[in-house]
Structure 1
Amino acid sequence: MKTATSRALLVLASLVLAGSALARSSDRNEPMTIDAGAQSGTLTGDGKTTLSQGVIITQGTLDLRSADAEIHLRGGEPVRVIFNGRQATMKQQLDDGSWMDAKADRIDYDVTSEIITLTGNYNVVSARGTNAGQRMVYNTRTGEMNSGGDGTRVRTVIQPKNKTATPAAGQGKK
């Protein structure tokens, strides 16, 4: 039982957004801590385990927090993990040393298809830019992202590669 519990919880945290090619790869080799006010359900066979009353998962630089989480199992293996809260948050350092922060009312990770869906006032911030809206679907295998199209607006801000300030027009060297 302990092995199944450890394996399920490892997948729960490490696969949430770790499929992103930029996530700190060394985090997967660090110990994982899962802290929740309560846990109920099964971690073997088919079924669901619920973590509630404030869920905090840390592994290396990964820090994931939500009001509650659900682990759906098939054959004792996690197939879907859902984090709920207003807002569920995730912070992780990337391999380049910068940080990525994500927030959403719901973070739904389909382990089988490796697709993450952020729903409800999501916001993703990194050194490369920001993306915010009501719903984003991200394929961790391909890097493809889809958002909007549901009558709501999506806002993306992309930071310039060269952040060195350039003189405004007419303010060249004298």
Structure 2
Amino acid sequence: MPEALRTEILWRAYVPRWAHAPLSGAGAARFGGRWNPVGAQAVYAARELSTAWAEYNQGFVQHPAIIAQLTLSDARLADLTDEAVMQRHGVSSAIHECEWRAEMDAGRVPETHRLRERLMKQGFHGVIYPSFMSPGGSCVALWQWNGEGTPGLLVTDPEHRLPRDAASWL
């Protein structure tokens, strides 16, 4: 049975061109990611603001970004930062070293994608995992949100500063 439903404050840094779509998983679906195959949407966010920035830039050049605060509610997340949770799911810490991009490029299914499928069948909406770019930080990969029977995901924008569509970038 999945862990208890969680409410989390998350931070997402993303490309300014997509300022109007802070809850989109389309970019992850287009290219695939650590926790989602090509074609499957996912939202990647961090549990700390500094981790969001570090993950976005991946240790390279500091690129312009939009940083949004998100509120995730009623989510079943497998906390892969917790050794006991990992043991319950038959997962070792080696999952965090998965060379997912190289596996995808070689036409193989990464272990993280196989675990995603198992967890989804068990009713999980996503995972919490340690940040690679920000030691001590943690991230969330969310596979389902804002649909019937799925967690709620909202962007914090009290003054409505984010654009409503892409027209501002044309």
TM, length-normalised to structure 1: 0.24
More helix by share: 2
Whose strand fraction is larger, Structure 1's or Structure 2's?
1
TM-score norm. by structure 2 comes to 0.25
Q: Which has the larger radius of gyration?
A: 1
Structure number with higher relative contact order (C-alpha < 8 Å, ≥ 6 residues apart): 2
